[in-house]
Structure 1
Amino acid sequence: MNALEKAKNLVAALLLAGAWSAAPAQAPADPASPASWAPIDPARMSQEVRALASDELQGRAPGTEGETQTIAWLTQQLQSLGLEPGGENGGWTQTVPMIRTQIQPGATYAIASHGATIPLQAPRDLYLGTTRDADRARIAAAPIVFVGYGVTAPERQWDDFKGVDLRGKVALFLVNDPDFEAAEGDPVAGRFGGQAMTYYGRWTYKFEEAARRGAIAAVVIHETAGAGYGWNTVQAPAGESYALAQAAGAPPPLLQGWMQRDVAADLFRRAGLDFEAVKRQARTAAFRPIDLGATFTADAAVSVDHLQSHNVLARLPGASHPDETVMFGAHWDAYGIGPADAQGNRIRRGAADDGTGVAGLLEIARAFLAGPRPARSLVFAFWTGEERGLLGSAYYADHPLYPVETTAANITLDTLQTAGPSRDVVLIGAGQSDLEDLLTRTAAGQGRTITPDSHPERGLFYRADHFPLARRGVPVLLLMALGGGPDLVEGGREAGDRWVSDYTAHCYHQACDAWSADWDLRGAAQDVALAYRIGGALANSRAWPDWRSQSEFRSVRSETASTRR
């Protein structure tokens, strides 16, 4: 970094701090008092979530009648608030072309290993889907190759593939990063962030790597600790997959998904290998792919629908710098209608995930419209397809309606907690950008502190709609309740951990993620108020937040520095 760049960064940092300190100094609020979440109304948020999670919206799946009803409800809310349409051609939406596939009943799967044929049942033993535009997924005796964690990272001197030819083969992966289970003193410890998952640990990266190498199928071995969620979450899509139509790059594997750990361990045993011992080998840079001497056969009929889903965008033009943008985001979609749960419920309503985020954006818009118009423009983005792979935000990042180069920040709300006010804010993806400094300062004004994500192994930073914008260089901030239990005013950290554990174990992506009159959304409102205040500080400043020097997104942002004044 040259002297001019350092000076620009210093000025930007001073401006960013000044954007907030210019406000009259006030004593920190009591986190249990309404001043902590002002001007956000928890009761109104609750009613908005209730509407979003109603049976009429049918679980808000993309490309369904539920989407039609959701889009109509959202646009009505935005119009009534007085925002301007922010979508394509002067409208409220951006069209997102997708395909939706569904593995049909009667699919058969089997492994042949050392003279034995092992039939597999879905979803008991494995969960597979396809994002190919094909009406049948047929694989005949494809060799299975174990590729460790499936990481190619030259900057970390790591290559799990060692030139292996995967064309026409099944790539079998471990979940998470090579150092996820590393012991203290192990040479790999900390090489991939330790307990904090990198993008190399995400199943999406592994599927992308399999596609680049021509694998016919990509299968990740499921272990709850490494994945960050149980098998019930894996099988929530019920054989249904979504993908962007005409996506760039190599075609995806014909089948991709997950295998239960015990099934994988048995496969290794039949090959004369101990699964845990091989996992230890995979935590070394010397690891080489292993042909397990087994083949995989599959035959599945697939239904394919071409559909057009929609992002919903609204805008509040800036008073003096309308060509510069501060963006707020949340996803409107949920999982739609699926198999009945134990209580017979089939609608997966997505009340907390992400009805709370959508309600939060509406509250933020209402708060801005009640005051002076900010200097920069505000964009409120309600994304489609988040639950199916961040599809709506990914499409926008590749087809932005407002230049990413002059988008000062993206602030995303996804799954806010419903257990009451808290004394802290859980920071997802610590160490990424200057926005964390503003978060710390703003939270202090609420009487709250910052707590780093206690479950960095879950890779939440890579699992929400801010991430495609980050890949385009936009500084981002994610407010989400799943990074660890909040320090609740009533019950402390123990009660907060209990809320997160109960929600992720039982209701995450399930039918029981439903609105309840018993919810206490004061804590959610605190986080929404944070987003509002941080966004307001940025929108009324000349500051351009930047990535930390160690962030993988800094170089992307630096390429467009000349466009920001």
Structure 2
Amino acid sequence: MKPILSLAAAMALGVCTAVSGQDDALPKGTALPPPPNAGATPDVPVPLMQAITKRLSADDLEGRAPSTAIEPKVLDYIVEQFKAAGLQPGNKGQWLQPVPTVEITGDHYTPLTISGSKLSFRFGDEYVAASYRVAPKSEVRDSELVFVGYGINAPELGWNDYAGLDMKGKTAVILVNDPDYADEGESGLFKGRRMTYYGRWTYKFEEAARQGATAALIVHDTFPAAYGWKVVNSSWTGAQYYVQKANDGMDQTVANGWVQKPVAEAILKAAGKDLAGLTAAAQKKGFKAVPLGLKVSFGFDNTIRRAASNNVVGILPGKTRPDEVVLYSAHWDHLGRCTPDKTGDDICNGAVDNADGVALLTALAKMNAETGPAARSQVFVALTLEESGLLGSEYYGANPIYPLDHTVGGVNMDALLPVGPSKSYTMTGGDKSELGDLYHKALAARGLGDVPEDHPERGGYYRSDHFSLAKRGVPMFNIERSNDLVTGGVAAGEKAAQDYTDNRYHAPADEYSDAWDWSGIAQDAALYYDLGRELADGTMWPNWRPTDEFRAIRDKACASASKGCKPK
């Protein structure tokens, strides 16, 4: 994660200017004329993907760090490729969607102290905290502690850990993950071992803010968190990045943080409670939050820096229902300059993560343009600031160019491993929505199998750009080739995946090579084309499964839509 620097000089260059005079967010013009070979099954343009990946991961683009002087050069190239693929500018005649960001770096942390006791905990190795508020100082003083179990309010499941509480002025103490995370399989109310969004730390902080809490503290526990305290410490002791909001985040808590499990145990003991006993109680429906009779205080200063980056947006207007949109996305950003390797190379080129994703995004645009206009419009977005916390997609989701109740669904592409084709695919997040029906149909048509997601307890569905749309109700595909390769089987696939993770991921060694095997990425391209085109030419408005955490959001959006999706 690299510091976000000023883009004022970059914007002054006038990069990627407007091309047409389109005034409305929805495409109103006539569709693109069909190419001579309209209707033909398009070939996967592997040479195009090779060229784009090689160029985007070249050393002179310095690892594609957003909001730096190199960004205009990256954007110019992506726009050039979008044009060549047949896209039109997709943001009211513009290619770019500016994404305003804010960087907040905490400093001068006071100990976390508990009134009425001698308990005092150090920042870094015992607790961490940050603020979503753009303010020079964050201070929590004598705030009443309330143990709120897993901090979940899920009306569709009849579960509310905040029932009957007034959290104003109080600090929520929250358990990580879901109540049934330890169960094998997915039969539990919260899908058992598979993490739902209610188990993600981001949700817990958001819900605490909705409940009016002053602060929120998550109790870290390695198994349900799926990572150790070292990960929490490294993620929360440096600069934090957010999308700028008109209210500067003042509707959020004063501070959000984590405490080590032994810290939580000590606090609860001081309150005459037992963490293990309260955890067991919190896992049962009907749990009531427990005021602890203690008050917490801590604080820190904030250094604030504002900046901007850009999403790149192109469109293939629809032929008969242009106001209905299918979305394709991939993030263009990477880490820029990073820790040097043994040779002194300090450029994290991001060839796999995610230059080849942008290459596939562009290839899909070209394939669909060659096929001819679909019934619905197809929008292609190269997103920024994924590496800084999904900020480009978060901004698009909060400020959609095309209304979300007019957005049918979509596909996201991220970090495609350049190895051979697989015998099967996996759907990250499981069968969450009716997109699963299209997915299984497409697999069967291509003779591919479907296998369960590895490590569903890690909540992988909630960690990539599609999630910013999903949490606002738009069903999004996130699928991956399995490790069961056609040549070499599972052993070969796992070896290749582990080699990338150990030796190249977020490192200078993530570089393009002419020796790459593109047959697996070509397989991805064909499947993504099937999925997106089926949505674009069809009449289906996919919804989430009835018990999914995003179902109510989609239902509400569809019920109030004047056009776009309609409730069943």
**Residue in structure 2 matching 1:525, options 508, 518, 522:** 522
Judge conservation of contact 1:40–1:529 (CA < 8 Å) in 2. no
- Name the structure 1 match of 2:147: 146
Once the two structures are superposed, the pairs formed by residues 69-468 of structure 1 within 5 Å of their partners are 69-88=73-92, 90-104=93-107, 106-112=108-114, 115-122=117-124, 124-182=125-183, 190-231=188-229, 233-234=231-232, 235-236=234-235, 239-246=238-245, 251-268=251-268, 273-291=273-291, 296-336=296-336, 350-468=350-468
Judge conservation of contact 1:506–1:512 (CA < 8 Å) in 2. no
Superposed CA deviations along residues 304-341 of structure 1, whole A, max 9, x for unmatched, are 12233322101122344433332211222345556779
Judge conservation of contact 1:99–1:131 (CA < 8 Å) in 2. no
* CA–CA distance in structure 2, aligned partners of residues 96 and 168 of structure 1: 33
Question: Structure 1 residues 404, 125: closer, same or farther in 2, change over 3 A?
Answer: same
Superposed CA deviations along residues 377-420 of structure 1, whole A, max 9, x for unmatched, are 22101223334443333333343322434433311112333443
Q: How many residues align?
A: 521
Judge conservation of contact 1:45–1:356 (CA < 8 Å) in 2. yes
* CA–CA distance in structure 2, aligned partners of residues 343 and 149 of structure 1: 47
Judge conservation of contact 2:62–2:349 (CA < 8 Å) in 1. yes
Provide the TM-score with structure 2 as the length reference.
0.79
> Is 2:52 aligned against 1:48?
yes
Superposed CA deviations along residues 478-533 of structure 1, whole A, max 9, x for unmatched, are 2246xxx532224433444555566667876x446723537544323322321112
* CA–CA distance in structure 2, aligned partners of residues 274 and 393 of structure 1: 41
* CA–CA distance in structure 1, aligned partners of residues 254 and 342 of structure 2: 32
Q: What's the CA shift for 1:83?
A: 2.0
* CA–CA distance in structure 1, aligned partners of residues 174 and 396 of structure 2: 30
Question: Structure 1 residues 116, 378: closer, same or farther in 2, change over 3 A?
Answer: same
- Name the structure 1 match of 2:44: 39
CA RMSD for the aligned pairs? 3.7
Question: Structure 1 residues 538, 169: closer, same or farther in 2, change over 3 A?
Answer: closer
Judge conservation of contact 2:346–2:508 (CA < 8 Å) in 1. no
Question: Structure 1 residues 488, 223: closer, same or farther in 2, change over 3 A?
Answer: farther
Provide the TM-score with structure 1 as the length reference.
0.79
Q: What's the CA shift for 1:145?
A: 3.3
Question: Structure 1 residues 358, 222: closer, same or farther in 2, change over 3 A?
Answer: farther
Identity %: 37
* CA–CA distance in structure 2, aligned partners of residues 219 and 237 of structure 1: 13
Q: Secondary structure at the match of 1:173?
A: strand
Superposed CA deviations along residues 105-149 of structure 1, whole A, max 9, x for unmatched, are x43433347643434242x44443322111222334544433221
Once the two structures are superposed, the pairs formed by residues 496-511 of structure 1 within 5 Å of their partners are 496-497=493-494, 510-511=506-507
Q: What's the CA shift for 1:207?
A: 0.8
* CA–CA distance in structure 1, aligned partners of residues 273 and 491 of structure 2: 41
Q: What's the CA shift for 1:150?
A: 0.4
- Name the structure 1 match of 2:32: none
Q: What's the CA shift for 1:534?
A: 2.0
Q: What's the CA shift for 1:424?
A: 0.7
Judge conservation of contact 1:160–1:285 (CA < 8 Å) in 2. no
Superposed CA deviations along residues 518-559 of structure 1, whole A, max 9, x for unmatched, are 754432332232111222233334444444444443524642
* CA–CA distance in structure 2, aligned partners of residues 103 and 136 of structure 1: 9
Q: What's the CA shift for 1:285?
A: 2.9
Superposed CA deviations along residues 287-318 of structure 1, whole A, max 9, x for unmatched, are 34345566544343322122333221011223
Judge conservation of contact 2:134–2:250 (CA < 8 Å) in 1. no
Amino acid at match of 1:362: T
Question: Structure 1 residues 477, 556: closer, same or farther in 2, change over 3 A?
Answer: farther
* CA–CA distance in structure 1, aligned partners of residues 306 and 55 of structure 2: 28
